[in-house]
């Protein structure tokens, strides 16, 4: 964990790349798209902890259809800025068998974690798995999964804010920042 001074130094040296007003507009657009496609499905919506907590908390009240909500926790990062092995910390408590499932995640980076989540849910019997990510990072190569719903597209930089952290800090920011290059 960083000290407060270290956290502030990172933020003060970072660049705001998605302001709060853009986030608000993209959330409204995503809510409409998701409602149009899943409104009749009564899906199970799963938030990927901890990054998607802000995205999920802001999006869920905007979805105007019945849904069931739960969460899961899968990570490859821990406290690192580089991905490692997939670790399933918490599986959904609600059975996914036979269900239409919408997975909410903060960012589609390399796609390894989201692909593992999709594959795990399908192996557990989900009828259909769709993914909504607030941010899709342009990493310059193909990914093992694509999102069905995307909020914003980001450059290939380390980003934080709006649920995404930098060494455990700044998930709570209403904007998205990129580390200084």
Tokens of 8: 């502030």
The whole-model pTM stands at 0.93
Report pLDDT for 1.
77
Tell me whether residue 167 is in a domain: no
Q: Which residues contact 65 (CB under 8 A, 6 or more apart)?
A: 35, 38, 39, 40, 41, 42
Q: What is the secondary structure of 73-128 as a DSSP string?
A: EEES-TT-SS--S-EEEE--SS--TT-EEEEEEEEESSSHHHHHHHHHHHHTT-SE
Report pLDDT for 88.
85
For residue 9, the SS3 value is helix
Q: How many residues does the chain have?
A: 181
How far is 134 from 176, CA to CA, in rounded Å? 11
Tell me whether residue 134 is in a domain: yes
Looking up residue 39, the CATH number of its domain turns out to be 3.40.50.2020
Mean pLDDT for back-to-back runs of 10 residues, the chain (181 residues): 93 98 98 97 96 97 97 73 74 96 96 94 97 97 97 97 95 96 79
Tell me whether residue 88 is in a domain: yes
Tell me whether residue 172 is in a domain: no
Report pLDDT for 79.
52
Report pLDDT for 2.
87
Q: Which domain covers residue 137, as residue numbers?
A: 21-156
Q: Please state the domain count of the chain.
A: 1
Report pLDDT for 126.
98
């Amino acid at each position: 964990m960083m000290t407060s001074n270290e956290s502030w130094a990172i933020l003060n040296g970072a660049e705001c790349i998605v302001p709060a007003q853009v986030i608000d507009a993209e959330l409204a657009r995503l809510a409409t798209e998701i409602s149009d496609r899943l409104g009749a499905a009564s899906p199970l919506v799963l938030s990927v902890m901890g990054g998607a907590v802000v995205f999920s908390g802001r999006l869920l009240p905007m979805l105007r259809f019945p849904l069931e909500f739960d969460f899961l926790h899968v990570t490859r990062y821990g406290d690192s800025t580089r991905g490692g092995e997939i670790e399933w910390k918490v599986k959904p408590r609600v059975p996914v068998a036979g269900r239409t499932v919408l997975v909410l995640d903060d960012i589609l980076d390399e796609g390894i974690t989201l692909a593992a989540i999709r594959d795990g849910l399908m192996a557990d019997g989900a009828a259909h798995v769709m993914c909504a990510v607030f941010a899709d990072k342009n990493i310059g190569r193909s990914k093992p999964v694509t999102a069905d719903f995307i909020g914003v597209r980001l450059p290939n930089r380390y980003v934080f804010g709006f649920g995404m952290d930098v060494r455990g800090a700044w998930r709570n920011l209403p904007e998205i920042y990129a580390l200084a290059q």
